[in-house]
Amino acid sequence: MDNDNNDVQDWFVELLNFLFLFQHEMTWNDFEHEIIYKNRYFSKHGVIETIAQNVEKASKEINEGMLLFRARIYEYESAKDLSAMLNELSDSHEELNHLSDDEKKQIVKDFAETKNSEIIGRLLYLYGKSTKDEEQMQKYLKNNKEDNLFKGYDKSNSTAPPIDKTTEGRANPAFIRYLYLAESCETAMYEVRPIIGQEVSVAPMKVRKRLKLYDFTVLIEEEGTAEVKANKESLFNVIGKAFTKPNHNRNELYIPTQYLAEYIKMLGFDGIRYGSALHKGGKNIMIFDPDLCEAISSDKYEINNVVLEMVKTT
């Protein structure tokens, strides 16, 4: 008899938790509909109130000097850009006229991010075409020692893209630069969704000052439910999950999280911490001001395998 009572009680608890979760999911869906289709600015929705009410519980600080990671799919210069570069160099260096296609490809691979004419001497010297510009090469290397630390993208291309190339994302509207980072190199690579054979450039980014983050990875329980069961799927946590899930090429689904990001920035936070939907246990960090972090190096990684684990659902 006691077992029957326990079964009924467990079933009742599970039903309550399902109803709580369903209610929070419906609240989030209602917020999405309002922000996308009804009231883009100055909403007084309950989701906004939840963000404000949990400011203290969700506050997390990270120290100056902490390393975060920024990943980008590594792509070489296009054939058109390569042709233009070689034609420009050939005007002043006849040694380039007889380069083979393989040599041109090697130039692209080693100097993909280099368009500055100041490195002509370095390029020619390394390929054994000329030594007359060796003095210029040495001067360039002396003034740019940090370049030796960047095996992937260079320093400027390892941070947030420039304004004219900033498309809308999970937290930023178009043309507003935010910096998307991860707490580990592995999570950063998962987030760019590489395929086998691709190369990924990963840059450690040093935090330049103590930062205050709004942390959606903490578990905040609903008030008044502790006597039944800790309901981890609170409205706060449902909101946090919205920052992790992909938009499946529907950019309008980023509008609600963009709105919340702007609200959180207004509250005085430097960024947002949220979970990774692509790397189990991984944590992502979005920084409102890209200048608060500095790339200190970069490395290239070739993707040899992508692991997929599956569980059959009923």
Whole-number percent of the chain with pLDDT over 90? 42
Residue type (1 letter), 159: T
State the pLDDT confidence band at 18, using cuts at 50, 70 and 90.
low
Structure tokens at 117: 């004419």
CB atoms within 10 A of CB 182: 25
**Band (92; pLDDT cuts 50, 70, 90):** low
State the CB neighbour count (10 A cutoff) for residue 43: 17
pLDDT: which is higher, 11 or 167: 167
Rounded CA-CA distance 134/124 in Å is 9
Q: What are phi and psi of 211, to 5 degrees?
A: -115, 145
DSSP letter for each residue of 242-299: HTTS--TT-GGGGHHHHHHHHHHHHTT-SEEEEE-SSSTT-EEEEES-GGGEEE--BE
Residue 211 in this model has a pLDDT that exceeds 90 = yes
Rg, the chain, Cα only? 25
Type of residue at 5: N
**Phi, psi torsion values for 153, nearest 5 degrees:** -70, 150
Quote the pLDDT of residue 261: 95
User: Per mean pLDDT, which range of 4-13, 181-190, 296-305 is the poorest?
Assistant: 4-13
């390569």: which residue's tokens?
82
Q: Where are the domains of the chain?
A: 2-28+39-73+163-302, 79-149
**Contact (CB, 8 A) for 250 and 267:** no
Convert the pLDDT of each residue in 37-86 to its tens digit.
Answer: 766 677 778 899 999 999 999 999 999 999 999 999 987 544 444 555 55
Q: Is the Cβ–Cβ distance between 166 and 174 less than 8 Å? A: yes
pLDDT score, position 13: 57
> CA distances (Å), 96 to each of 92, 107, 140, in order?
9, 11, 20
**Residue 143: its H or E element:** helix 134-143
Sequential DSSP letters for 146-208? GGGGBSSS-TGGGSSPPGGG----SS--TT---EEEESSHHHHHHHT---TT-EEEEEEEEE-
